[in-house]
Chains A and B, each alone.
Chain A
Amino acid sequence: MKGTTSHPPSIEIFHAQKAGEGFFSWVATVDHKRIGILYLLTAFFFFGVGGLEALVMRVQLAKPNNTLLSPDAYNQLFTMHGTTMIFLVVMPTLIGLANYFVPLMIGARDMAFPRLNAMSYWFLPFGGLLLHFSLLAGGAPSVGWFSYAPLSETPFAPSPGVDYWILALFALGIGSISTSINLIATVLALRAPGMSIRRLPLFAWMVFVNSFLLIMALPALNAAIIMLFIDRQLEAHFFLPSHGGSAILWQHFFWTFGHPEVYIMVLPAFGIISEVIPVFARKPIFGYEFVAASTVAIAILSFGVWAHHMFAVGLGQPMDLFFAASSMMIAVPTGVKIFNWSATLWGGSIHLTTSMLFAVAFLLQFTLGGLSGVTFAVVPIDWQVTDTYYLVAHFHYVLFGGSFFGVFAGLYYWFPKMTGRLLSESIGKVHFWLTVIGFNMAFFVQHFLGLMGMTRRVYTYPDYPGWGLLNMVSTIGAFILGLSVLVLVWNMAVSLRRGTPAGDNPWNAWTLEWAASSPPAEHNFDQLPPIQGRRPLWDLAHPENPDEPEASGGEPESKRSDRNKTGMMCFIASEAFFFIMLLIAYIFYNFSQHPNPGAQWLNPLKTGIFTFCLLASSFTFWRAEKRLGAKDHTGFLVWLLATLALGGVFLVGQGMEYFELFLKGLRAGTNLFSASFFMVTGLHGLHVLVGLIWLLIVLGFALAGDFKTGKTESVKTMGFYWHFVDVVWIVVFTAIYLVGPVS
C-alpha cells in the first residue's frame, strides 16, 4: 500500500510483535491488539466448554424417556450453557474484535485507557473461574440463565451455585462496563484527523452505539443480582412472595438488562456484516446513514421492549399491547438493515469467499430469526409458543445463525490481519457448509417441536408422535455443528503453520486497518493515509475517482473530546442508572405496599446534619480545584483535607445511624423497608468510601508535589465523581428521609 511500510508476514501470531515475548509479556500486556487476541482465545475456550455442554444435552434428548442424565445434572447443563455462551463467549468475542479493530479502523495508536483495558480483560477469566468454581462448591447453578425468583432464592435453591453465578456476573459486568467506557472514549477522543463521526467504519459505529447500550443495561442486571444476593446472604425477601416480596420485579429488572443484551450480542455482528458485504461485493455500503441511524433507533427502542419476555406473566392487556407495539417497531430498523445489505449485493461484483458465504448465510438466517421474533410480538401467538422449542429455535437463529455467523464472517475476514496469514479457503468452505447444514438441522426442526407442544428446559420427554424423530435430527445436526468447529480449529492451525502470507490488504478493502501491516506493528501505523471519506484506501487507490466527500461524511470535524472527561462521564452515567434502579426498588417496596416497621426510627434532622457535611464537601472540593488552578498549592492541600474530613464525618454519621438501628433490632432481613434502606444507603456509603480512598490517593500525590506542574486533569476527573456521589445522596435523602415510606 502507498503511504505505509510493509512488514514481512510473521510465522507465528505469538511472536508477531517485537515489544515483548513469552508468556508474561502476554499477561502484562496493555496493547489493544494483544488484549483483543486474549479476549478471542478465552472466548474460544469457553465456546468449546459451552458447546460440549450443548452436545451432552443433545445426547440426553436424542431419544424419548432417556435416563442418561439426572434432572439436576441436565438443569445445571442448560443453565451453564446459556450463561457461558452469553457472558463468556458472545460478549467477549465481540468485545475482543472491537478491541483489536476499533482503534485500527479509526487510525488510533491504542485504546483511550490501555491499562483499564487490561483490567477489563482480566475480569473475564476471573468471572469464568468464579462461575465454574461452583462445580467444586456443591454444584453449578441449576435455575436457568435468567434465574427467575423465587426459584433462585434460598428455599428453592439452597446450594451456593446461584451465589457463584451472581458473583461471576458481577465481575464480568465490571469488565464489560469498563471496556465500553474505554471504547466510547476511544471513538470520541482518538479518531485520526479527518475521521469524522459520519465517516466511522460501520463496525466502529455499531460498537460505539453498543457500548452505550452496555453501560446503561448492565446496571439493571447489577441492581437485580445485588438484591438477589442480599436475599440469599442476608435473608432479605426482595423476591420472595411468601414474605411480601415480588417475583415479578425480578423479571422487570432482569429483562431491563436482558433485552438490550440481545442487541448487545447482535449489533457488533451487524457491524461485521456491514464491513464484509461491501468489500466482497466490491461496492460501498448501500445507505450508510440508514444503516448507522437504524442502529441508534434499535439501541433506543431496545430499552422499551423488555416486557415482551413477560407476556405470559399476566401483566394485563394494556401493558402487553404497549410492549407488543414497541417490539414490532424495533423490527422496522432491523428490517432496514437487512434491505440495505441486500441492496449492497445488488449490482455488485460478488466474490464468494468463505467470509462472504458466512455473511450471506447470516442474512438469510437472521431474517428468519427476526421474522419468527415478529411472531412473538403478536401477543396471542406468544401466549401459545413462548417457553417452547419454537422459542429455543428462534433465539438460536438470532444468536447462532446471526451473531456467530457474523463472527465467523469477521474471523475469515480479519484473521489475516491479526496473524499475517490467510485461512485456507478450501478448508473454510468445508467449515462453512458443515456449519450451515449442522446449524439448520439442529435448530430448524426445533420450530416444529415447539409447535407440537414440546416445552423448553425439559430433561426428558414422553414418546409422543414425531418428537423422538425430530429430536434425533436435531441431535445429529448438533454433532455436525460440533464437527464444523473442529474443522475451524484445523483451518486455523494449518494457517498458523503454513498459511499463505496475506500481505497488508489481501481483500483490497478500504478501511484503515488494512493500511497497517499484517499483523500490525505494536504502534499500529507508521503513517496514516489521508482520510477524506469513508473509504480512505479506495480514495488512495483511485485518485481519479474518489468517493465524493458529501456522500461520505462531509467535512471532517476537528474537535475531539477529552478522554478523561468522556470516560468519567460515561462511568457516572452508568452509576446513575444503577442508583436509579436501586431507587425504583426502594420506591416499589416502600411507597406502594403495606407499611414496614422501622421507618419511624429514621431521624431526618440528625441525618440532615451529616447530609450538610457531605454537601459542604462538594463545596470544599470545588475550592480545592480553584486553588489548584491558581497554583496555590497550600490552599489546595487545605481544601482537600477539609473535603476528606467532611466526607469522613458523613460516613461516621452513617455508621452511628446503622448502629442505632441495629440496637433497635433492625437487620437487612427484618422486612422490605430495612432491606431496601440498608441496600440503597449502604451502596451509596460504599461509593463515598471509594471516593475517600480516591481523595487520599490524590492527597498522597499532592503531598509528593505531583500537581505543581499544572497537570491537573486527574483532580478534575476525581471531582466529577465526588460531586456525583453528593448528587446521588440528595436524591436518596429526599426519597428516604424527607418523603419517606408511606405508613
Chain B
Amino acid sequence: MNEALNSVFHSESPQAEVISGLFILVLIVCAVILLIVAAMIFSSLARFRHKPGGLDPKPRHGNWKLETAWTVIPFLILIWFLTLTAKGMKESNPPSDQKPDLLVISHQWWWEARYPQSGVLTANEIHIPVGVRWLVGLESADVIHDFWVPRLAPKMDVVPGHPNRLWLEADKPGNYLGTCAEFCGAQHAQMHFLIIAQSPPEFEAWVEKQGKPPPRGLTEGEQKGSRLFQSMTCVNCHTVNGTPAKGQAAPDLTHFASRQTIGAVILPNTPENLARWLKNPQAVKPAILMPDFKLTDAQVSGLTSYLESLK
C-alpha cells in the first residue's frame, strides 16, 4: 500500500498540481536569492581577507542608492508572490457554500467517513470516484486533527466547533495515503487513512455493497465469534448493521472484511494481524481507547473468523 513516494510534488489532482507548480516556482526564486547572497559573501571572503601588516580599510558608512535597491527589489518580488498566492488559493481551494459530498469526522485516533447521499458509513478507508471533484466536510469529535493527503489536496485542520471544507479529487485510480498532520495526542503518529480512488462504476458498486448489511450464512466458527461479539462490550463502541451492535464511539465494522488495513492504516487486514490486535490492542497501538480484554486464544480466533466474514 505504500510503494509510491507520498511526496507533495507527486501530485495526482488539479488542486495539488497547482500547489506543486507554485511551490517549484517559488523555490527557484528563493534559491536564486540565496545564491546571490552566498556569492556576495563568499566573494567577499575570497577577495577581502586580512593580509598581515595590512591597514584597516577606509570606513564606508552606507549608501542610500543601494539601500533603496535592496528594499524595493525584494518588495516587488514579494508583491509578485502575493499575487501568486491569491491566485493559488483560489485555484487550489475555491470557497464554496454547497453541501459536502462527503463528511469526514476525526476521532482520537481514527477517521470516520459518512456519505450523505447514500447514507453509507465507513472508517479509515475513504472511497471516492476518480475524476470527480468532491467537497469534503471536516468535523472533529474531540481535539484538533488535520486531514492531509499530500498527493491530492492541501491540508486542512479538523477543528472541533469549527466545521471546515476541502476539495478532494484524484486523477487516477489508486490508493492515496493520508495522515493526521496536527498533533492530537498519544497516537497522533499512527492516525493514517487511505483515499481509495475508483472508476465511477466500481465506486457505485462499492457504495451499493456498503449500504447492505453483511452477508448471512455464517459458518459454525463464525457464529461462535458473532455470539461472543454480541455478548461482550464490543457492541458498546462498534456497530455492525443488521445486528444489535450500535456503538458509535469506534469504527463501524459492518463491512470490516472489505477493508485493506486495520488500526487506522497501520497493518494489512489479515487474520494474523487481526488476531494480534484482538489479543492485545495496546501492544499493537499503545494508548488507544480500546482496552486489552485479555481474550483467550479460542475467543480471539472466534472473533477473528467472525470479523473476517464481514465482507
Contact = CB atoms under 8 A, between A and B. Distances in A.
Q: Do A and B bind each other?
A: yes
Interface of A: 70-72, 75, 142-144, 148, 150-151, 156, 241-242, 245-248, 281-284, 286-290, 312-314, 316-317, 320-321, 324-325, 328-329, 331-332, 335-336, 338-340, 342-343, 345-352, 360, 363-364, 367-368, 371-372, 374-375, 377-381, 383-388, 451-453, 455-462, 464-466, 547, 551-552
B159 A372 contact: no
Interface in B47-91: 48-51, 54-57, 59-63, 66-67, 70-71, 74-75, 78, 81-82, 84-86, 88-90
A488 to B, nearest CB: 23
Contact of A332 (B34, B78, B95, B164): B78
A387 B146 contact: yes
B157 interface: yes
B150 interface: yes
Given A328-B78, A385-B8, A284 B59 contact: yes
Contacts of B179: 453, 455
A452 B6 contact: yes
Contact of B144 (A71, A148, A377, A460): A148
Contacts of A386: 155, 181
B199 interface: no
B57 A348 contact: yes
Given A70-B286, A455-B181, A465-B5, A156 B75 contact: no
A461 B30 CA distance: 30
A70 B93 CA distance: 37
29 contacts: A71-B287, A150-B142, A150-B143, A151-B183, A282-B57, A287-B67, A290-B62, A312-B146, A312-B155, A312-B181, A313-B162, A314-B156, A314-B159, A335-B70, A339-B70, A345-B45, A345-B48, A348-B48, A371-B34, A374-B78, A375-B26, A377-B81, A378-B22, A378-B85, A381-B88, A386-B181, A453-B177, A455-B179, A458-B189
B78 A241 contact: no
Given A349-B56, A377-B81, A453 B49 contact: no
Contact of B48 (A71, A75, A325, A347): A347
Contact of A453 (B8, B57, B156): B8
A281 B54 CA distance: 12
B184 interface: yes
A460 B190 contact: yes
A71 B283 CA distance: 12
Given A151-B183, A247-B162, 12 more contacts: A151-B144, A156-B108, A287-B63, A312-B181, A321-B86, A335-B70, A343-B40, A349-B56, A364-B41, A453-B8, A460-B190, A465-B5
Contacts of B188: 75, 457-458
A342 B40 contact: yes
B157 A72 contact: no
Nearest to B165: A314
Given A290-B62, A336-B67, A380 B286 contact: no
A313 B7 contact: no
A332 B71 CA distance: 6
B50 A350 contact: yes
Contact of B185 (A156, A320, A339, A462): A156
Given A284-B59, A328-B82, A383-B154, A371 B9 contact: no
A375 B183 contact: no
A144 B181 CA distance: 13
Contacts of A316: 95
B61 A286 contact: yes
B38 A320 contact: no
B33 interface: yes
Given A150-B143, A287-B63, A383-B155, A455 B148 contact: yes
Interface string B178-221: 01111111111110000000000000000000000000000000
B170 to A, nearest CB: 16
Given A336-B67, A367-B34, A375 B61 contact: no
A283 B44 CA distance: 13
A374 B81 contact: yes
Contacts of A380: 18-19, 22-23, 85, 88-89, 92-93, 154
Nearest to A75: B186
Contacts of B164: 314
A413 B86 CA distance: 45
B157 A464 contact: no
Contact of A72 (B108, B142, B287): B287
B85 A377 contact: yes
A307 to B, nearest CB: 13
A451 B20 CA distance: 10
Contact of A461 (B9, B189, B286): B189
Nearest to B164: A314
Given A148-B183, A332-B74, A288 B7 contact: no
A528 B238 CA distance: 80
A329 B22 CA distance: 19
A284 B81 contact: no
B7 A321 contact: no
B174 interface: no
A151 B180 contact: no
A458 B192 CA distance: 12
B182 A242 contact: no
Given A156-B142, A286-B62, A350 B49 contact: yes
Given A148-B144, A248-B159, A336-B70, A320 B81 contact: no
A-B pairs with lowest CB-CB distance, top 8 = A241-B161, A383-B154, A458-B189, A453-B6, A345-B44, A314-B164, A380-B88, A241-B160
B45 A360 contact: yes
A360 B44 CA distance: 11
Nearest to A246: B161
B71 A283 contact: no
Of listed B142, B161, B164, residue having the most chain A CB within 10 A: B161
B290 interface: no
B180 A551 contact: no
Nearest to B148: A455
B19 A350 contact: no
A336 B155 CA distance: 33
B150 A384 contact: yes
Contacts of A70: 286-287
A283 B93 CA distance: 51
A312 B181 CA distance: 10
A453 B56 contact: no
A246 B162 CA distance: 9
A331 B8 contact: no
Given A151-B185, A374-B26, A457-B183, A464 B85 contact: no
Contacts of B37: 338-339, 342, 363-364, 367
A290 B67 contact: yes
Contact of B189 (A383, A384, A460, A552): A460
B118 interface: no
B78 to A, nearest CB: 4
B2 interface: yes
A53 to B, nearest CB: 16
A72 B186 contact: yes
A21 to B, nearest CB: 41
B44 A346 contact: yes
Contacts of A342: 37, 40-41, 44
Contacts of A459: 189
B48 A350 contact: yes
Contact of A547 (B59, B71, B177, B189): B59
A384 B57 CA distance: 48
A317 B95 contact: yes
Contacts of B237: none
Contacts of A455: 148, 179-181
